[in-house]
Amino acid sequence: MTEAGYPSGFGFQLDCTNNRYINDEQICVAVAAMLAKIGLKVRVNAQPRAIFFARMPKRDTSAYLLGWGGAITDADTIFTPVLHSPDGKGKGDWNWGSYVNQKLDQLIDAQHVESDAAKRKKLIAEALAEHNAQIHHVPLHRQVIPWAMRENIRVVHRADNWVETQWVYVD
């Protein structure tokens, strides 16, 4: 921290939900404790999701916990809404930190319209490398959605959590 110009550290608020994700508040408390070890004074602001999701699009935050995922695993499902700079037209709507990286935006925009699979894969790799070099966000974990069922029922649990009725078996 001294080398970065903050010999005494600094403080900020970490906004989190407390009723949206599995252990969401506990995750934020753990992150705050880890950051305290390097001199950062993090105040966890855990709040119900109704308050959190009404407030965050106003971009009134220093840092926040956001879960992202879904049935579609294409790179663009996170690139355009979360990692792109906000443009007021849909791109970057979930980039509540409002960071701007023109090189990343250009790569995201290029992969979005590239139809050649090999070229698109290269653009995606370049976009991820640019994102990771700048540390725009810190991925913490992949939340697994647990399932439970009766002994006489078997279901193929797909990675995208989609239930295919033809893969449900009742013994």
User: pLDDT tens-digit profile of 109-140?
Assistant: 999 999 999 999 999 999 999 999 988 888 88
Look up the pTM and report it: 0.79
4 is a domain residue: yes
Residue 15, in any domain of the structure: yes
pLDDT at 69: 77
13 within a domain of the structure (yes/no): yes
**Nearest residue to 40 (alpha-carbon basis) of 48, 30, 32:** 32
Structural domain count, the chain:
1
Question: What per-residue confidence (pLDDT) applies to 160?
Answer: 66
Domain assignment of residue 46, given as a range: 1-67
User: Would you say 21 and 29 are in contact if contact means Cβ atoms under 8 Å apart?
Assistant: no
Share of the chain above pLDDT 70, in %: 96
Alpha-carbon distances, residue 106 vs 46, 75, 98, 160 (angstroms):
35, 15, 16, 29
Q: Confirm whether 49 is domain-assigned.
A: yes
Mean pLDDT of the 102-110 span:
98
**Does 70 have pLDDT greater than 70?**
no
Cβ atoms of 162 and 71 within 8 Å: the answer is yes
Residue 110 lies in a domain: no
Residue 125 lies in a domain: no
> 40-47 and 63-64: which strand pairing?
unpaired
